[in-house]
Structure 1
Amino acid sequence: METDGMEPDLSQVLHSSNLNRAFARPDILNTEFMYFSAVLKVVAPAVSTDDNRQKVVPWIHKLFRPEYHSTPFREKRNKYLLYLTLTLLNDEVYGIFSLPPPDGALPELGEINMGHVTAADWELDLTWQETLQNLPQDFKQLECSVHENIEECDDDHFLDTILDQEFQFLLYLAKPYAAMLKGRYDATKVATWMQTLCTIHGNSCSSMKGIRNDYMMALLGYVHDLRLIGPFAEYPPWRTLPPLAEAAKLAADNRPITDPTGPEASAFLSSMPKPSDGAFCYIAITGDLVKSSFGPAP
């Protein structure tokens, strides 16, 4: 919508189909459409250049028209919305969206020349490859902790590509934060963990690659806060890598957060103000039942 020369109100356009959706039977295509509507409401007005914002508006008008809520066109509509959302998340408008939408029917996306899109920085990062090249010659790959025999591992490679891409991205994100860790021991541990996770590659099964990514995602969260706790407080295992949930439970059992000698307690106490006179007393409270040395209550 346009009013007196002002910029189109994208929020009104994106909400224009609420009545049509209100009485529709819930389904996957409708759920996708609602998701893209919510995302576009945020990212479309946030595009950095005015020229690109003006290019987006006619496309939103087009894709939210009533005819694209009819059954034959909903899937095509959602594909266009997905493509548009991805371009805007990169703060760009390229491909077919750099031109005004056609007055008639939209072409099938498969018929459109998408043009050349350069690879992202994380796709070109060589950290993973360089880590593998620098492994010692006598290095032995971790054993699978999921399957009981090699045949089951050989049959489990359906998700290799997407899992490897995810790991490459997470590794790229974690690298600068890992370099900021101040403690010498923490820096050594995180480097060892990243090296160990990098070794799960190639012929490793998809299940192990999924476990690898779970660890990498958790490690990224910790190094982002510039600390190493949980399973990462110790060096990685050298034989096999158990699921993250098992490793986290084992780490909590071995050194719970209430342990006054543990790293969590030390980090907490070191961040507290030092009293100029007297002393502070800290009490660790746990939900675990503690057996009394005085026997059961009368």
Structure 2
Amino acid sequence: MSNPLRSLNENFRYNYCTAKSLMLLFTNKADRDLIQQWLDKLQSIKTGSTETLNNRNSYMWTLVLSMQTNRLIKPFTDSPTSFDLPPLKEVMSAEEYGDILRKTHAGSTGSDVVHPDQKAERRHATVREVAPSEFLSSQPTPRDGSFCYMAVFSDWG
């Protein structure tokens, strides 16, 4: 059986490395300094309950999502406090979180990649609902390579 604390720390390290890479894309030194402060704060939370580490990972994931849109959002527009981080849902509303998810998804290239030989109409296909049992058969087929699907679950109230 896997160790949940180990999994949380591995997840954090992966997102930490992603954030460090994305930080290089920020040209504004003040933004880079804020990002580094947040990374230092989040990295300082090494032990604790599963709830504490989940909260740390939520902040890290939201920071990475924010960085993918090339702009920082609250709470990352201010330096982190020296106190324990409150749960993210107390600092950020569900609407704000949904907004950053939509912006990140809209900027992704995975869902709108079309091989040049395919018809142009495919690029602007309308979104339609598909029964779960037909999901895979309704997906585009890559010519060379593969697609990777990821699911994200949340307990936002």
Same fold (TM over 0.5): yes
Q: Contact 2:16 / 2:39 at 8 angstroms: preserved in 1?
A: no
2:137 to 187, 190, 211: 211
1:201 and 1:106, CA in 2 relative to 1: closer, same or farther beyond 3 A? same
Separation in 2, partners of 1:212, 1:91: 32
1:93 and 1:191, CA in 2 relative to 1: closer, same or farther beyond 3 A? closer
Gaps of 5+ in 1: 1-23, 124-165, 179-185, 223-298
In the superposition, the TM-score normalised over structure 2's length comes to: 0.67
Q: CA deviation at 1:95?
A: 1.1
In the superposition, the TM-score normalised over structure 1's length comes to: 0.38
1:191 and 1:58, CA in 2 relative to 1: closer, same or farther beyond 3 A? closer
- Which structure ranks higher in relative contact order (CA pairs < 8 Å, sequence separation ≥ 6)? 2
Q: CA deviation at 1:169?
A: 6.2
Q: CA deviation at 1:87?
A: 0.9
2:19 to 40, 56, 76: 40
Q: CA deviation at 1:214?
A: 4.1
Task: Find the residue that maps to 2:85 and give its secondary structure.
Answer: coil
2:111 to 170, 179, 189: 170
Q: CA deviation at 1:213?
A: 2.0
Report the equivalent of 2:148.
Answer: none
Q: How does 1:267-282 map onto structure 2 within 5 Å? A: none
> Which runs of at least 4 in structure 1 moved beyond 6 Å after TM superposition?
none
Gaps of 5+ in 2: 146-157
Q: Contact 2:69 / 2:104 at 8 angstroms: preserved in 1?
A: no
Task: Find the residue that maps to 1:92 and give its secondary structure.
Answer: coil
Report the equivalent of 2:55.
Answer: 76
Q: How does 1:59-138 map onto structure 2 within 5 Å? A: 59-65=38-44, 68-72=45-49, 73-114=52-93, 116=96, 117=99, 120=103, 123=106
Task: Find the residue that maps to 2:111 and give its secondary structure.
Answer: helix
Q: Contact 1:48 / 1:91 at 8 angstroms: preserved in 2?
A: no
Q: CA deviation at 1:103?
A: 1.9
Separation in 1, partners of 2:91, 2:40: 20
RMSD: 3.6
1:100 and 1:170, CA in 2 relative to 1: closer, same or farther beyond 3 A? same
Q: Contact 1:44 / 1:53 at 8 angstroms: preserved in 2?
A: yes
Q: CA deviation at 1:84?
A: 0.8
Separation in 1, partners of 2:13, 2:36: 18
Percent identity of paired positions between Structure 1 and Structure 2: 18
Name the count of aligned residue pairs: 136
1:207-230 CA-to-partner distances (Å, cap 9, x unmatched) read 323222242xx16x69xxxxxxxx
Structure possessing the higher radius of gyration over alpha carbons:
1
